[in-house]
Amino acid sequence: MADRDVPNETEQLVLLSLVRLGAEAYGVPIRAEIEARSGRSVSLAAVYAALERLELRGDVRSWLSQPLAERGGRARKHFEITPAGARALREARAVMARMWKGLEMHPDLRGRT
């Protein structure tokens, strides 16, 4: 990836969640997806901070839904990955694969029972 950073771990988790959630990708479900699949707690603020950085870089785009059909219902800000975001995610995976290459059997990295 010339002239751009590989997404950090939180950004990668957010991007992967966007792909999995499709049209239902907004703050709360993104957070739930990350927590369910990673087993780690993540704040909604961290999710939105990552989304903001990703949107500024052009890796995601957002739009507002129609207001919810309830009194005082607000519109939700939905997100989707862009082609640039998909490329960034693939590159992040490739970087990790290159780093791991040849280390799978290293004594310090083998699973111990």
Residues 63-82 pLDDT 10s: 998 777 676 678 889 999 99
> Is residue 21 in some structural domain?
yes
Residue 26, pLDDT score: 95
> Is residue 26 in some structural domain?
yes
CATH of the domain at 29: 1.10.10.10
Q: Rounded to whole angstroms, how far apart are CA atoms 62 and 81?
A: 9
> Is residue 1 in some structural domain?
no
The total number of structural domains in the chain stands at: 1
Residues in the chain, pLDDT under 50: 1-2
Q: Rounded to whole angstroms, how far apart are CA atoms 61 and 77?
A: 10
Write the CB contacts of 51 (distance below 8 Å, at least 6 apart in sequence). 14, 27, 30, 60, 62, 79
Residue 61, pLDDT score: 97
Residue 1, pLDDT score: 43
- Considering the entire predicted model, what is its pTM? 0.85
Contacts 24+ apart (CB under 8 A), 60-64: 60/14, 60/15, 60/18, 60/85
Residue 67, pLDDT score: 76
Residue 28, pLDDT score: 95
Q: Rounded to whole angstroms, how far apart are CA atoms 79 and 58?
A: 12
